[in-house]
Structure 1
Amino acid sequence: MPKAVSRMSEIDLDGGNLRPHIVYLMELGMDIEQIRSIIRRFPSFAYYSLEGKIKPVVEFFLELGVPKANIPSILTKRPQLCGISLSENLKPTMKFLESLGVDKKQWPKVINRFPAILTYSRQKMMENIDFLHELGLSEESIGVDVGILLFRCPQNFGLSIEANLKPVTEFFLERGYTLDEIGTMISRYGALYTFSLKENLIPKWDFFLTTGYPKSELVKFPQYFGYSLEERIKPRFAIMKKSGVKLLLNQVLSLSSSNFDKALKNKMKKMQHGLDSS
């Protein structure tokens, strides 16, 4: 039996003899199964000391303003955080990100949304930032700086340049978009870089070509790629086609069902009124 797995048996409730760090985690709101799940995925967590690793990181997050109720989900998402030195890694990484424009007041939201960003190497993040700057992603050119993108979509800064950033950029370049337009799309919807070409971008692009909308609509509304093709995009376009009118791309997808119906009816009334008055 692996040591970490055997260590998991030490968190059983038999006789109530729980290790101090397990008691501490449970007081934070974690249950035994959550803790076991963390150790299965990340065995080193079983060996982290309470006073030396876990407690200092948790208390640091609480001091930053992270709600206590969010700590269990943060540690579940990224237990490696408790293995990082506060003085040598965590705090310097945060200062580095602040130098790029991350607002100190936003740390609780950033950490809760994507705690993994604090475990990325600064060199790795700088390489990705350099790549984004090459796209023209700067405050001067498109009104958005890296700090805002870090807040909106922090996972971009841990993605592989070769496996994610370059292929997605090339995908849009091959379809006639300029680097400036791609930069605008990324600033408006940073999650684009997290999508699979085969599973997401290609099939949704192919369908988009059948809609009759100009490709410039995707620069205005790149969130199109975030909607389900089968459950949202195709059904909405089918309903709109049947109505005989055409809405803006963002109206087709972002409106609730009731507001979508209202928008269609209003457009149909306007069109009918135009026919009646001509």
Structure 2
Amino acid sequence: MRDITADTITQAVMASWANAPDARARQVLQRLTHHLHAFIDDVHPTHAEWLAAVDFLWRCGQISDSQRNEFALLSDVFGVTSLVDLRNAIPGATVGSVLGPFYSDDSPYVPFGADLVKDNAGDVVLVTGVVRDTAGGPIPGAVIDMWQTNATGAYATQDPDQDDANLRCKQLCDAAGRYAFTTVEPAAYTIPMDGPVGAVVRLAERTPWRPGHFHFIVRAEGYQPIVTEIFFAHDPLVDSDAVFGTRQSLVRDIDPVRDDEELPAPLDRRPDRRLDFDFTLTAAGVDAP
């Protein structure tokens, strides 16, 4: 390789991956090389700028731990997470949205109609709907896994002042595929701004705010799980999400509950407002087009 030049190095590096036994790994490594080198040729960073970029990545690693992944946040603010979601969307299924950094798999199971409000501030909201297959049929026994912020915009997993299980739950859908629980409307919040990603967002004078939302993972045996979010039509931040997670099909109204309105029964608490959202799952093995 003594004849490496600016004109030959890209092909030389791509060729170095040619013996990777896995065809997909070989493709990814070669195309990543191609695009990274094309970026360098396009931007022409100085030595100082490139060292600053490497230092930025090092600082992302330094601030990351089991409770925080700064690289995931970096992917989010560049829209890469959402692009992967959108490119892997399957027609007919509920569209995906970002997982975010505050998910924990140990949320407690609660019964149908459970009350999550407890001593949390805010109007009581009934969140309910049906988990269906792409033919419109209900999926009994599907599992919904929900987590949200409280009235101050904090998740239980990041806030030492909250009970660890506050405003998050898992629930088995009933025989009609229905889920239902009462909670409070989650507040908007900013992405973590105390690290290197926050510094870049601040430098660019971009909004750090996310609109209020419910996070959901929905699973059922024999179906592909979905990771998604539900947003609120009245939220002024819904059109300026810092991580590009909003989708038109995921925006819903939260309507007042009428005194004579029939509600899913039983409920542990009478709601002030109601949000309805049906999830659609595709069969396992169905790939995005």
Alignment TM-score, normalising by the size of structure 1: 0.28
Which structure has the greater CA radius of gyration?
1
Of Structure 1 and Structure 2, which has the larger fraction of its residues in strand?
Answer: 2
> Taking CA–CA contacts closer than 8 Å with sequence separation of 6 or more, which of the two structures ends up with the larger relative contact order?
2
Of Structure 1 and Structure 2, which has the larger fraction of its residues in helix?
Answer: 1
Alignment TM-score, normalising by the size of structure 2: 0.27
